[in-house]
Every structure is written in structure tokens, then in C-alpha cells.
Amino acid sequence: MSEVVTRARAWIGTPYGHQASCRGAGADCLGLLLGLWREIHGELPEAVPAYRPDWGEVRGEELLLQAALRHLRPATTPAPGDVLLFRMRAGSIAKHVGLAAETGAAPTFIHSYQGHGVVESALTAPWARRIAARFAFPAGD
């Protein structure tokens, strides 16, 4: 089992909180990733500015994808612990993030979204079609 998947599962049940990244208290999708990074690596590689729910959409900026490209390496083979970036609509920017938990015949991913908080969901065909990029989460030291 991947260390990051084990840690991410400990976040399940954390309520949704916009811009929050505190296990048990609140997290949005990016906050889940940031919280896991802090648990495994300590300090974040760069400061995350405040963001609104529609961040990046107004100008069509791929802010999440650009940040992932700066700090993560693209995954060549799907693996548990991969960071998944999603486009919620065709032609839109990538602005949802999750973590692959299970791969293979019954894939799942862990993510946080409004109204549900942190959950593990089946990576069904509708979700899989929305994947914009897949990155390997760096192993701890």
C-alpha cells in the first residue's frame, strides 16, 4: 500500500472547507493534497495564494496544472498515490484534484468536494473521462 494512500484514507470524513487543509476539521480538494504534502514532506514547495471557487476560470488559466508541472512528475503508468487533475467540463480548465487509491479492475480515488467532504469514490467512466493529467506523488524521505 502506498504511504500517501494510507494517509489520505485517514482524511476520509473530513468535512468540506473552502481553502482549508486540516484533517478532521476541513479540506477542499486542493487542501487535501496540501495537507498530505505537509504530512509527508513538511513545508510546502511554494505559498498557495488565496483563491475563489472560480479561480482560473475567468482568464482560462491552467493554474492547477501549471503548479503540478512545477512540483510533480507526470506518471507514465497508473499507480496508487497518483495525483489526478480533472476538467469538470469539456474545454474547461483543470480545477479538481484527487488521489488514485486503487487501480486495476475497480479503480477508486480520494478527493474532497462540496457537500460531501473527503470521500473515496469509484473512478467510474464519467470521472475517468475528466482526467486531464496524472502525476506521481513524491515518496517521503
Query: For each of the chain's 141 residues, which pLDDT tens digit applies?
Result: 699 999 999 999 999 999 999 999 999 999 999 999 999 999 998 898 888 777 767 677 898 999 999 999 999 899 999 999 999 988 899 999 999 999 999 999 999 999 999 999 999 999 999 999 999 998 876
Residue 95: alpha-carbon gap to chain centroid = 9
Alpha helices in the chain (DSSP H): 3-9, 29-41, 63-71, 125-129
Architecture of the structural domain at 3-136:
Alpha-Beta Complex (3.90)
Q: Is 111 within 8 Å of 9 (Cβ atoms)?
A: no
Residue 40, pLDDT score: 95
Quote the Cα angle for 114-2-66, to 5°. 55
DSSP secondary structure code for residue 83 in this structure: E
